[in-house]
């Protein structure tokens, strides 16, 4: 068996009723060389007591609170956890999901000196733990960045295990983005065309679907951070060698986001025209966007226009 330490990094907030299942699945790992860095994001339920009870019985659990000088949010906790981690391998995880007993063992065994990252697959489960479906889009591609941006390929925060040496010095999770932080991080990582990834055909995580997940948050504040993030992504993609249809895909995401944002109309139009691409579909979407603005102003509806 390999003798490399794995750092499991878990941000958590008000998960006292769920996190024990996650932590029990970590204790049950067949690969024993791990540390689990638990970073609480200001919970006001019993979460910290639950975390400390695990740390008292197993010193591989390390409990921390998000530093006061860091903005609130899971991304800050993930980045902070990375900064204090000691493992040669890094695996971020969420506080309501469940590891397969061989989650660590299979991933560690799949590394070699020529691999920067190992990516496994995910099952979806309900709030009651019942199986729902498998994620079918986690696989390799000769257009990995392009296919990931366009959602033809997808994986989650916990699917990759990383060599820490590869991540050092790189920008990790955006601490301003309130949703889609894992996709944003992975897109920026994939812009490094030289990254060496080993995809393994193994479903090693059960991803719990319930109302409290950030995926279900579509507030205006969330939409604004997505808006700013998509603009930055467009500018970054325009600086690399990538087909214009990929940039167009991100533009369409930016314009569709208006049905939640319902603001920044003039700023968005100026941005699009200043950084326009040579595509008829681009201008068709600008027209749809303009019509939707009018519809929202008159009727407060217009979602159907941006479908």
pLDDT at position 47, please?
Answer: 96
The verdict on 119 and 199 lying in the same domain is yes
pLDDT at position 60, please?
Answer: 98
In contact, 75 and 175? CB cutoff 8 Å: yes
The verdict on 142 and 180 lying in the same domain is yes
The verdict on 227 and 194 lying in the same domain is no
The verdict on 243 and 197 lying in the same domain is no
In contact, 31 and 105? CB cutoff 8 Å: yes
The verdict on 74 and 195 lying in the same domain is yes
Range of the domain at 234: 220-306
Give the domain CATH number at 10.
Answer: 3.90.550.10
Per-residue pLDDT 10s for the chain (307 aa) are 579 999 999 999 999 999 999 999 999 999 999 999 999 999 999 999 999 999 999 999 999 999 999 999 999 999 999 999 999 999 999 999 999 999 999 999 999 999 999 999 999 999 888 999 999 999 999 999 999 999 999 999 999 999 999 999 999 999 999 999 999 999 999 999 899 999 999 999 999 987 655 555 678 999 999 999 999 999 999 988 899 999 999 999 999 999 999 999 999 999 999 999 999 999 999 999 999 999 999 998 888 999 8
Q: Which of 172, 189, 216 is the last residue of a domain?
A: 216
Q: Note whether residue 253 is domain-resident.
A: yes
The verdict on 72 and 56 lying in the same domain is yes
Which residues have a Cβ under 8 Å from the Cβ of 98 and sit 6 or more positions away?
21, 22, 25, 125, 129, 205, 206, 208
In angstroms, how far is CA 206 from the centroid of its own chain?
Answer: 16
pLDDT at position 127, please?
Answer: 84
What is the C-alpha to C-alpha distance for residues 224 and 217, in angstroms, rounded to an integer? 12
**What does residue 302 show for φ and ψ, rounded to 5 degrees?**
165, 10
Q: Note whether residue 134 is domain-resident.
A: yes
Q: Note whether residue 187 is domain-resident.
A: yes
pLDDT at position 211, please?
Answer: 64
* Rg over CA atoms, the chain: 21
The verdict on 226 and 160 lying in the same domain is no
Q: Which of 216, 241, 264 is the last residue of a domain?
A: 216
β-strand 117-125 against 61-65: which pairing, if any?
unpaired
What is the C-alpha to C-alpha distance for residues 158 and 180, in angstroms, rounded to an integer? 14
Alpha-helical runs (H) found in the chain: 19-27, 47-57, 74-83, 103-109, 144-149, 164-167, 181-190, 220-237, 244-256, 258-261, 265-274, 280-299
pLDDT at position 129, please?
Answer: 85
Number of domain units in the chain: 2
The verdict on 252 and 144 lying in the same domain is no
Q: Is 264 helix (H, G, I), strand (E, B) or coil?
A: coil
pLDDT at position 37, please?
Answer: 98
The verdict on 164 and 234 lying in the same domain is no
Q: Note whether residue 111 is domain-resident.
A: yes
The verdict on 233 and 297 lying in the same domain is yes
Q: Specify the DSSP class assigned to residue 19.
A: H
The verdict on 123 and 226 lying in the same domain is no
The verdict on 230 and 210 lying in the same domain is no
């Amino acid at each position: 068996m390999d003798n490399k330490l794995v750092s499991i990094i878990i941000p958590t907030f008000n998960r006292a009723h769920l996190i024990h299942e996650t932590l029990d699945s970590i204790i049950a790992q067949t690969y024993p060389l791990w540390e689990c860095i638990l970073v609480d994001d200001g919970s006001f339920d019993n979460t910290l007591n639950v975390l400390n009870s695990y740390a008292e019985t197993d010193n591989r659990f390390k409990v921390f609170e998000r530093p006061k000088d860091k903005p609130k949010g899971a991304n800050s906790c993930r980045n902070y956890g990375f900064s204090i981690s000691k493992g040669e391998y890094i695996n971020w995880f969420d506080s309501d999901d469940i590891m397969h007993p061989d989650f660590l063992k299979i991933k560690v065994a799949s590394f070699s000196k020529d691999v920067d990252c190992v990516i496994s697959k995910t099952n979806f489960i309900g709030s009651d733990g019942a199986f729902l479906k498998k994620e079918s889009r986690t696989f390799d591609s000769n257009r990995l960045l392009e296919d990931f941006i366009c959602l033809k390929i997808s994986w989650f925060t916990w699917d990759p295990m990383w060599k820490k040496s590869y991540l050092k010095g790189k920008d990790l999770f955006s601490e301003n983005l309130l949703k889609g932080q894992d996709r944003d991080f992975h897109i920026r990582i994939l812009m490094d065309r030289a990254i060496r990834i080993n995809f393994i055909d193994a479903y090693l995580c059960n991803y719990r679907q319930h109302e409290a997940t950030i995926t279900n948050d579509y507030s205006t504040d969330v939409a604004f951070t997505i808006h700013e993030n998509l603009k930055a992504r467009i500018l970054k993609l325009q600086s690399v060698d990538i087909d214009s249809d990929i940039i167009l895909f991100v533009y369409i995401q930016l314009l569709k986001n208006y049905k939640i944002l319902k603001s920044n109309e003039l700023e968005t139009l100026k941005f699009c025209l200043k950084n326009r691409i040579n595509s008829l579909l681009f201008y068709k979407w600008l027209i749809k966007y303009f019509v939707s603005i009018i519809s929202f102003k008159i009727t407060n509806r217009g979602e159907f226009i941006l479908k």
